[in-house]
Chains A and B, each alone.
Chain A
C-alpha cells in the first residue's frame, strides 16, 4: 500500500473514493451499468476495457501496483 508518510502523498483527504475497484471482476455490461452509463452496444466492450485500464493506473498511482 501507499506510504503516506515518506513521500507526502497522498495528501490529506486522499485516497479518493474508488472509481470501480472491482472492475477486473466484472463483465463488460456490469462495468457500464455500475458506472451508470447508457451507451450504444458498440461502445460497451471498449469502454469496459478502458475502465479496467484506468483502475490499473489508479492502483499504480496509489502505490498498490507497479
Chain B
C-alpha cells in the first residue's frame, strides 16, 4: 500500500496514527539483526502520532503524510538526542536543541518519526560497515551489504519497517543503498532541499533525499521537503538515452541484461568520466579531511580506523589540489550540459551488479578486486559531482536488486521523478520489498 493511501486512511479516521506507529515500532523491535536502526524513538513517535489523531478528531487536516511512519539517517538533528553521524565519539555528544529543517517540514505534513538509522561513520563509505553499530544487512540476502552510507535508511524501507526514510548523498550514499536494497531513492539538485540541522561531510557535494517503495511515494515526500511538487516536462520531451563508455564497463551480466530490458534506447558517451570521478574523490577527501582536522589532531584514536586514515590523508591535501578538482568540474559540467540538452534523461547503472557479499567485500574493476567500501561509487560519483538530480530506481528483475540512475539536468527534479513513475507504470522498474525477519 502506498503511503498516500495510509495517510488518507488516517485523515478520514479509518486508521489511527498511533496504531501505525505501534506497528512500526513492533516491526523494528522484532528484527534487531537487520542492524538498520540505531535508536527506536518510541515515546516521541507515540506522542507525534497522538497529535495527528487529535487533529483528525478536531476536524483538522494533519497533512499529506498524516500518520506515515519514517526514519532518518543518524546525521539529522533530532531534538533532545545527540546527532552521532554514525560515530562512537559522538554517541554522548550534547543533544540537538531542535529538529533538522527536513524533520520540521515532515512533521508539519503529519509524518511520524520512529527511528534513527545506521550509516558509515561520518558518511564516508559505501557499505554501512559501522565500527560502533555494526554492518547493516541487506534485507534480500543477509550475507550481503545494504550499501551506504545511508544503508540503514534503505534497509529499513526495503524491509517494510517504516513507510519511508531520509538519507544523505555526497557521492552516492542514497543511490547506492537504494539500488542494492531494491527501493527508490532521490538525490536532488544540489542545494534544493533544506540542509539545516544535517551533520556535514563535503559542503560542495552534500544533499539530502528520501527512500521510498514507489515512485509516487518518492514524489510525495520530495514535494513535502521541497515545499511544492517539482515541475516536470511532458514525458514526450525527455528523449532518454543510456550512458555508455565508462558506465557500460565492469558490469555484471545481470546488470547488462537489466539495462537492455529498458528497451531500445540510444547510447551516448561523455568524455573525461575517469577525471570526474577522481575530482569528486579529491574534493571529498579534502573537504572531509579539513572538516575533521582539529578533532583528528586532538583524538585520532576516537575514530573508526577505516574512516580516520582516509580523513587524515585528505586533510593533508593542499588547497591547490581542491581548486584544481573544482576547476575540472566546470569543464565536465559543460560537456554534460550539452548531452542533457539533447537527452532530457540519461540512464546509468547505480553500481556494477548486485550487493557484494560481506565475506568478500570487493568489487571487480578492470579485472582487479577493489575494496567495496571505497569503490561502489564508480558510477555515482561522476554524476553527483555535478549536483545533478538523480532518482535511483530498482529494475524489475527476478533476482537480487539492481538499480539504475535516472539523471536529469540541474533543476529537473520533476523530470526524473516523472520518468521513474512512467517506467514503473510500464513495469520496467519496481521496488523489491521483503518481509522483516522475526528474531
Q: What residues make up the interface of A, taking CB atoms closer than 8 Å to B?
A: 7-11, 14-17, 19, 35, 37, 39-40, 42-43, 45-47, 49-51, 53-54, 56-58, 60-63, 66
Contacts and interface: CB of A to CB of B under 8 A. Distances in A.
B285 interface: yes
Given A39-B300, A42-B301, A47-B313, A14 B272 contact: no
Nearest to B335: A7
Contacts of A19: 316-318, 321
7 contacts: A14-B320, A14-B324, A17-B320, A47-B313, A56-B278, A61-B282, A66-B274
Which secondary structure characterizes the binding site on chain B? Answer: helix
A40 B305 contact: no
Interface of B: 271-272, 274-275, 277-279, 281-282, 285, 300-301, 305-306, 308-310, 312-314, 316-318, 320-321, 323-325, 327-328, 331, 374
A16 B308 CA distance: 26
A58 B278 CA distance: 7
Nearest to B285: A54
Contact of B300 (A10, A11, A43, A60): A43
A51 B317 CA distance: 9
A12 B374 CA distance: 31
A47 to B, nearest CB: 5
Given A9-B327, A47-B309, A37 B279 contact: no
Nearest to A17: B320
B328 to A, nearest CB: 5
Given A15-B324, A54-B313, A61 B278 contact: yes
A9 B326 CA distance: 11
Contacts of A53: 313, 374
Contact of A51 (B271, B306, B316, B328): B316
Contacts of A9: 275, 327-328, 331
A39 B324 contact: no
A64 to B, nearest CB: 10
B102 to A, nearest CB: 32
A37 B278 CA distance: 24
Closest 7 CB pairs of A and B: A46-B309, A16-B320, A50-B313, A57-B278, A60-B278, A9-B331, A11-B327
A10 B275 contact: no
A61 B279 contact: yes
A47 B327 contact: no
Contacts of B314: 50, 54
B309 A54 contact: no
Contacts of B321: 16, 19, 58
A57 B435 CA distance: 42
A1 to B, nearest CB: 13
A10 B324 contact: yes
A39 B309 CA distance: 10
Nearest to A52: B313
B282 A17 contact: no
B324 A61 contact: yes
Contacts of B320: 14, 16-17
Contact of B309 (A7, A49, A62, A66): A49
B325 A61 contact: yes
A46 to B, nearest CB: 3
Contacts of A62: 324
Nearest to A31: B313
Contacts of B323: 14, 16
B282 A40 contact: no
A53 B275 CA distance: 14
B309 A63 contact: no
B303 to A, nearest CB: 9
Contacts of B275: 9, 60-61, 63
A37 B316 contact: yes
The residue among A9, A17, A19 with the most chain B CB atoms within 10 A of its own CB is A9
B327 A10 contact: yes
Contact of B318 (A8, A17, A42): A17
Given A60-B274, A63-B275, A40 B301 contact: yes
A15 B328 CA distance: 11
Most buried by A among B277, B282, B328, B374: B328
A1 B194 CA distance: 41
Contacts of A66: 274
Nearest to A45: B309
Given A9-B331, A42-B305, A46-B308, A51 B313 contact: yes
